Amino acid sequence: MAIELKNVCHTYMEGTAFEHGALENINLTIHENEFVGIIGHTGSGKSTLATHMNGIIQPNSGKVFVDGIDMSDKRKRKEGRAKVGMVFQYPEHQLFEETVEKDIAFGVKNMGLSEADVDERVREAFYLVGLEYEKFAEKSPFELSGGEKRRAALAGIIAMRPKYLVLDEPMAGLDPSGRKEIMQTIMKLKDALGCAVIMISHSMDDVLKASSRIIVMNKGKIVMDDTPREIFLHSEKLLEINLGLPQGLVLANELRSRGIDIPKDAFLMDELFEILCERLGLC
């Protein structure tokens, strides 16, 4: 079972003077349990691609399937959307209820579950995102810190137990501590729920650390699709489309420029530390 995009094209404001092609002939399969990072400069089509995955946007041509469900079929689209949890950039802007508990419960209640099942899922979601139920349940969402708001918004999606979790810049606007907390929460969620994670990010370090697969987009097309190590072994291609590099790779390149023998495929910070320790006779 998988999310499948077949020959998907999308154009905004088609037929007007403001027509803009966002996706061009996208063929992509996201498998169960994968952690897929999607990178690309602003305007490359990343967010448009993500919103096609749960039918928020329909392609001008081509098809999207979620576990075999045709997302162009209005009668079945709701079933497909229930499998794909979508967390937008700055998800805390989606918070609106008077308490955190009610906000997290909102989507689950719309699934028609019993009161007992709703309560079970809400409490589980609190736990999974690292918010103590007794401390936060009756608080207003607007009293929370930035990182707490982000986790509460995630909990509202997690409570619906999606099979695929799509995250659009989940760490945007957070300080380093908040970024670390959210990244840890995402990894915990994947392990606990066994869901696939599709994460859009401008942070090369985040996608390198977390992803099992990286998709690189440019001008509405998929230009690379491979493991993180293979993607960053071709860093010149990333630089050509104005993407940054992970800090470890920047450091490795700088060390090579200074005559230090660093293997081409070594660019994780832990790897570099071990190599330098060995070179300097410190370990």
51-88 pLDDT, tens per residue? 999 999 999 999 999 999 999 999 999 899 999 999 88
Structure confidence at residue 171 (pLDDT): 84
For 231, the enclosing helix (H) or strand (E) is helix 228-233
Question: For 148-160, what is each residue's pLDDT tens digit?
Answer: 888 898 999 999 9
For the chain, the structural domain boundaries read 2-228
Based on its alpha-carbon atoms, the radius of gyration of the chain, rounded to whole angstroms, reads 21
Cα within 13 Å of Cα(246), Cβ side: 23
Looking at the DSSP bridge assignments, the partners of residue 167 are 87, 199
pLDDT band at 147 (very low <50, low <70, confident <90, very high): confident
CA distances in angstroms from 167 to 7, 120, 151, 154, 274, listed in the order given: 23, 24, 12, 9, 33
Look at residue 26 and give its three-state secondary structure: strand
Structure confidence at residue 166 (pLDDT): 95
Kindly state the greatest CA–CA separation across the chain. 67
Q: Which of 98, 100, 99, 122 is nearest to 109 (CA)?
A: 122
Structure confidence at residue 11 (pLDDT): 95
What mean pLDDT is predicted for residues 112-123?
92
* Helix, strand, coil in percent for the chain, rounding step 5: 40, 20, 35
Cα within 13 Å of Cα(198), Cβ side: 27
Fold of 2-228: Rossmann fold (3.40.50)
Which has more pLDDT, 186 or 278? 186
pTM more than 0.85: yes
Instruction: Label residue 17 exposed, middle or buried (CB < 10 Å: 0-12, 13-18, 19+).
Output: exposed
